[in-house]
Amino acid sequence: MTITITPLDDSFAVQVSGIQPSGAVRAEDIAAMRKALTAHGVVVIRGQKFDDREHIEFSRHFGELEIHTQRAWLLPDMPEILALNNRGERGTKPIMNGGSYWHSDVSYKAMPPMGSLLHAIEIPPEGGDTLYSNMCEAYDALDDETKTLIDGRRAIHSYAHRYQAQAAGDPERPQLTAEQLAEIPAVGHPMVRTHPETGRKALFVNEGFTTGIEGMDDAEARALLDRLFAHCVDPRFVYRHRWQVDDLVFWDNRMTQHSATSFDQRFKRNMHRTTVAGDVPA
């Protein structure tokens, strides 16, 4: 089957046709998918009907899979699957408008993931889009003075800071245990990371988990981070994905960040996500 790559909405994201994640997958298909991912940051495959086991097996072609810190949202029999379901599923806790803030997945770990593969199983009739922003393009567009200021600096990332703020406004959200908190101490990462496969530089700060800058006082760090956060989500760098049932979206966590958007909670939304392990940002 011929593989075709089509730009989406005049943005950096692309749609890939000719790859079937279910069943036997050719090595050349995986190579083409990885090439598209690292070149563009977000890859969409439409009309994909497959089960959770096939989702996991396809994802493993790109690396080892991670298990999320918050076990309450993992399928009990398949913990590689994070169930983003606002009703709960197979014993998982409901998650309402999960990730509705700009973030790079799990940037609060020493080795953030390479990427995530999100499969749309049920979607609301409107709303619930996902926004993606290209951090390579955002870095390239910075003025030279700002590039000089942030190159070589490290920012602090924390999951507990964001999670506790969300839990305060959502009584249904499970509290993190002491064991879970011990797994995710705050970490420092370069504010500008180099993509290990392409060599491109990308901004690596996000409003979801970045809480400070090493060696900089809080007020100065907050002013700089707020400026960078606003720059990261400039419409020039953003793609809006309008979900269709059976979409599979694969994003490169090393060069993008994303945000969910709200939807009417009277409607059900069920998405399954796998996460591919990454490396230490450099």
Catalytic residue among 105, 173, 189, 241: 105
Q: Give how far Cα 184 sits from Cα of 11, 112, 178, Å.
A: 34, 11, 10
Cα(81)–Cα(91) distance, integer angstroms: 13
Is 105 in the active site? yes
Answer left, alpha or beta for residue 180, where phi above 0 means left and psi between -120 and 50 means alpha.
alpha
Catalytic residue (choose from 154, 173, 258, 269): 258
Two tokens, residue 114: 């390479």
Q: What is d(CA 11, CA 16) in angstroms, rounded to the nearest whole number? A: 14
Whether 61 sits among the annotated catalytic residues: the reply is: no
- For residues 28-49, one letter each, b for 16 or more C-beta atoms within 10 angstroms of the residue's C-beta and e for the rest, the string is ebeebbbebbbbbbbbbbeebe
Helix (H, G, I), strand (E, B) or coil at 249: strand
Strand order in the sheet with 130-134: 238-241, 130-134, 256-260
Pairwise CA distance, residues 17 & 44, whole Å? 9
Report which DSSP code applies to 102: -
The C-alpha atoms of residue 52 and residue 273 are separated, in whole angstroms, by: 9
103 is catalytic: yes
**Which of 34, 40, 55, 103 is flagged as catalytic?**
103
List the catalytic residues: 103, 105, 258, 273
